[in-house]
Amino acid sequence: MNRRTWTLLTSVVLVVAFGLLGAFVRVPYVALGPGPTYDTLGMDGNVPVIGIDGQQTFPTGGHLNMTTVSVTDQLSLFGAMGLWVSGRYALAPRELYFPPDKSEQEIEQENTKAFSDSQTTAETAALRYLGYPMKVLVGEIVKGSPADGVLEPGDHLLAANGKPVTDPTSLKAALVGTKPGDRVEIRFRHTDQPEQVASVQLGPNPGTDPQGFLGVAAIERPDVNFDIKISLADVGGPSAGLMFTLAIIDKLTPGELNGGQFIAGTGEISPTGEVGPIGGIPFKMVKAREAGATTFLVPAGNCAEAKTQAPEGLQLAKVENLDDATKALDALRGGQVPASC
């Protein structure tokens, strides 16, 4: 074969090799893009996304859509380039979403737990906002602490050291002035059993606090006799909290909280109603607008990014807490413009 033939043959081999590499070799990146959006006032299949049993609910209208980000893994070089060139996706290092020290099962479990926790927190924030009574429960118990083996997660805390436990901070306040070795009485109720009193010897505090150590993280939950169930499959993370909270409020109060409009949004919520920033807001806004949303509730911490990338026709409403969110919806119902980013 002459030089020209060798050159042609070599070029063909290189093109084939590059094609195989581009088509089959995985790159250490994931693609982030617009994910599904769900109406928290609507249905997931034949089941309400939010169902309330044992309490009067009221008709709702319009939409209160939660939004998500899709994460595409196991990308080939050509696949990654194609998604990036489309303009709808961004590439990010895979290790940020799939840490090498964790299995995919562990990551999925963490995301599922975060989503479940956001549902519980949304219920607490909504019912607190509506004025329902609260109770203090045992959350996590430090292994090997004085409370370990005496109390169980979910126990209803009533009093500690002779002082009523009315909120999580009151438990710590009840132990002020104690020291390691002191005995204190804890009054509590386990599930539906009668009240119990346990005498606990406090231990040394693992931090710098000199007071005695019980080893309980107290949490606050609604003290109500009805059930709220959130049913949404294959969704993870905490960022749906705000929209779940608003939907619960809407269902438990007369009238349409959104004025019958198509509202979407995002944001992690705390039990006391603070709204925290989230990731991927440009993708969430894109999907919300494509689905028909006219207003998007934006956590204050995401406003700088959101206002530079908002799709045309999508109005932004800045929210730092649940009160801001309800005021924004009040403004929209009255034909006014809510506080924006």
- Rounded to whole angstroms, the Cα distance separating 163 from 247 reads 36
Q: Does the annotation count 327 as an active-site position? A: no
Query: What count of Cα atoms within 13 Å lies in the side-chain half-sphere of residue 256?
Result: 15
Burial class (CB in 10 A: 0-12, 13-18, 19+), 16: exposed
Q: Which of the following is catalytic: 239, 251, 287, 318?
A: 239
How big is the CA angle at 312 (ends 31 and 301), to the nearest 5 degrees?
Answer: 65
- Rounded to whole angstroms, the Cα distance separating 142 from 131 reads 32
For 283, other C-beta atoms within 10 Å of its C-beta total 21
Helix H or strand E encompassing 4 = helix 3-24
Q: What is the CA radius of gyration of the chain?
A: 26
Q: Does the annotation count 284 as an active-site position? A: yes
Do residues 315 and 284 touch, judged by C-beta distance below 8 A? no
Q: Which of the following is catalytic: 118, 145, 251, 284?
A: 284
- Measure Cα distances from 34 to 4, 84, 121, 200, 278 in Å: 49, 13, 25, 52, 14
Do residues 341 and 265 touch, judged by C-beta distance below 8 A? no
Report the catalytic residues: 239, 284
